[in-house]
Structure 1
Amino acid sequence: MISSLNVASLVFGLIAWIVPVLNIARIEKLDYTRWMFSFMISFGSCAISLLIQIYYYYFLIKDGDITALIDTNGVVALAATILFMGTLLINIIFAIILTLYNRRTMR
């Protein structure tokens, strides 16, 4: 059960990073609703991934596995920080590229 939480968190984290990258690759086909949906999917996946990690800690505490909690604490905190900052950075880059593309095509 607990190991499947880590896999699910990883999958949602990858979704949070892959969605904006794919949209940068197909920027010509995006309209307002699609890129706004992309932002929501990306940040929503990041939030779900972090929420899963909170539940991972909850189950470790509930099972009394304090040793595993202590062993994984630093890595999970680092991974959560990298996930959030990476998602934010990729989406900012996506927004800048989208803005520049829209300005270029409007002229």
Structure 2
Amino acid sequence: MKKLLVLRHAEAGMSLSGGDHSRDLTARGEEEARQVGRLLLEHSYWPDAVLVSDAMRTRQTAIWIGSVMGEKGSTPMWIRVCTSARPALSARSSMRLLRPWTRCF
């Protein structure tokens, strides 16, 4: 059975440039992401695909999780989502991206 796992980014700090999109993970956030990677391995959750916003904190979260998972991990596919009042990726577009993995749901 296929599973859909939805994660939120790990703890992020304040942006020096003032933009939310460029916020980095804190040291605690990096450790939180590594813990998630260890939990995924422990429970044998190996992703077939990883869809990640192009916000810095979400990319860093995916990278830290992947660094722990090693070869069992999946290469993240960055997607641009909702960075302005007009979303770059609509709900309909999101479903088209997810469709190959949703047939079993």
TM-score calculated relative to the size of structure 2? 0.31
Larger CA Rg, structure 1 vs 2: 1
Give the TM-score, by structure 1 length.
0.31
More strand by share: 2
* Larger helix fraction of residues: 1
